[in-house]
Amino acid sequence: MSISGRLKGGTPRRERIRASPRFNGRTFVNTHGVLPGMKPGVARPTIRDFLCGGERRVPGGPLPLVDPVPVWSTPNSSGLRVTWLGHSTTLIEIDGIRVLTDPVWGERASPLKFAGPKRFHPPPAALASLPPLDVVIVSHDHYDHLDRPTIRALAKTRVPFITSLGVGAHLEQWGVSPDRITELDWWESTRVGSVTITAGPAQHFSGRGLKNRNTTLWSSFHLRGPKHSFFFGADTGLTEEYLEVAKRLGPFDVVALEIGAYHPAWGDIHMGPLNAIKAYGMLGSGVFLPIHWGTFNLAMHPWDEPAETVLQLAPAARFPLLMPRLGQPVEPLRELVVQPWWRAVVSKGAPEPVDVPEGKGDLEWLPD
């Protein structure tokens, strides 16, 4: 993929990329030099592991879905409502605007139509049934976050896009006009209505093929309205940069953090449930909404293990938890919904309970 092209406002994309503190002259890099899949002393998963390893990696039956459309047509009385639609796709209604994150309506998180990770469930709502959107956020260019069929459909609308530096080239290629695209480097902001949207740090990587690894940036995103604050963590490993995020962008009403698709070898670029809880401790505020699970088989762990782990650790870690069903709109400042709905679809081999050491009510005991 070329990194040429032009950003909104006429600034050359290539020049902005070269000027980024995160660009080393050839590719984007993580702040602490972390490389994907390179955790020292930990064996990487093999192709055989992906194809044959692990148990209960897919649900044993259909997942319970909620039709959110009737609720979307009703007023949002608290000013903050969120609907988790699967994986990292959320509809956030905040202080008068609607924000759709990492929209994936495609059947597979893959470059191929006939192979690759397939959805566990249909989208809870059709793309055409979404309420009018004010903006779409795309955190980075991996297939489970940037879905070409979905972008092509949204390109036919008038909705603007906010994304990480360089990713706009994909959007333009799939039909989104350049004047609808705003690319951000970390700590840069733009406004949509009364809400300021800021790109923040993440510890991850990018690329949709062997030849374009890390040619575009990856980011978290923060939404700050007159009354409410929402942090969308997207894809990341555990990083001390979350302390800076809390300092510069907090406090938060909701923090959406990835808990699924993890492996010991990916410990620096994906968090998993234990490190997600540590990350929440660094952020220091807000209701914890787990994302990046329950839709695709992207790792070797049981499909429901991330959710079960978070649910079992929540009492000891003492954080407010939001775990709605897929498609269930929730106003987290009015009610906390914690429903272990995944237990109803586990066919066999229930997850092992998490052993919390006696008397440990903080995060210090969680293993590295």
Q: Report the C-alpha gap between 198 and 186 in whole angstroms.
A: 8
The three-class DSSP label of residue 313 is helix
pLDDT for 340:
95
Collect the ranges in the chain with pLDDT lower than 50. Answer: 1-10, 348-368
82 within 8 A of 289, measured Cβ to Cβ: yes
The dihedrals phi and psi of 83, each to the nearest 5 degrees, come to -125, 115
Tell me the residue range of the domain where 203 lies: 79-344
305 within 8 A of 312, measured Cβ to Cβ: no
Q: Report the C-alpha gap between 124 and 106 in whole angstroms.
A: 13
The answer to whether residue 349 sits within a structural domain is no
The answer to whether residue 335 sits within a structural domain is yes
The domain that contains 328 carries what CATH number?
3.60.15.10
Report residue 273 as tokens: 């449930």
Neighbour-count burial of 156, counting CB atoms closer than 10 A to its CB (0-12 exposed, 13-18 middle, 19+ buried):
exposed
Q: Report the C-alpha gap between 268 and 265 in whole angstroms.
A: 8
The answer to whether residue 368 sits within a structural domain is no
Scored b (16 or more CB within 10 A) or e, 185-203 reads bbebebebeebbbbbbbbb
pLDDT for 36:
76
pLDDT for 11:
63
- In the chain, how many domains are there? 1
The answer to whether residue 206 sits within a structural domain is yes
The answer to whether residue 311 sits within a structural domain is yes
The 8 Å CB, 24+ separation contacts for 22-25 are 22/185, 22/186, 22/217
The answer to whether residue 64 sits within a structural domain is no
Q: Report the C-alpha gap between 117 and 107 in whole angstroms.
A: 9
255 within 8 A of 287, measured Cβ to Cβ: yes
pLDDT for 338:
94
Q: pTM of the predicted model, to two decimals?
A: 0.90
Q: Report the C-alpha gap between 74 and 173 in whole angstroms.
A: 36
The answer to whether residue 95 sits within a structural domain is yes
The answer to whether residue 196 sits within a structural domain is yes
Q: Report the C-alpha gap between 255 and 125 in whole angstroms.
A: 23
Segment 107-124, tens digit of pLDDT: 999 988 888 899 999 999
Segment 169-200, tens digit of pLDDT: 999 999 999 999 999 999 999 999 999 999 99
